[in-house]
Amino acid sequence: MLGSRLVHHEPMAGVFSAALGNHGYLVRSPAIAEIHEMATLIQA
C-alpha cells in the first residue's frame, strides 16, 4: 500500500493522542499529490 514511501510509524503517547490521534506516520514523496493520496489512505 504505502511501501517504501512509509518512512516511520509508531503509536502516539497518551498525552498527545487526544490532539494527534493514536498513531503517527512519516511518509516521503517528491510529488505532493502522492503525499495527499497517502494521507487519504492513512485516514481511511
The model's pLDDT over 9-44, given as tens digits with 9 standing for 90+, comes to 999 888 888 888 889 999 999 999 999 999 999 988
- State the total domains in the chain: 1
3 state SS for 4-44:
HHEEEEEECCHHHHHHHCCEEEEECCCCHHHHHHHHHHHHC
Predicted confidence at residue 32, as pLDDT, reads 97
Distance of alpha carbon 1 from alpha carbon 42, whole angstroms: 10
Predicted confidence at residue 5, as pLDDT, reads 94
Report the predicted TM-score, pTM, of the whole model to 2 decimal places. 0.75
Expressed as residue numbers, the domain containing 19 is 3-43
Say how many C-beta atoms besides its own lie within 10 A of residue 38's C-beta: 19
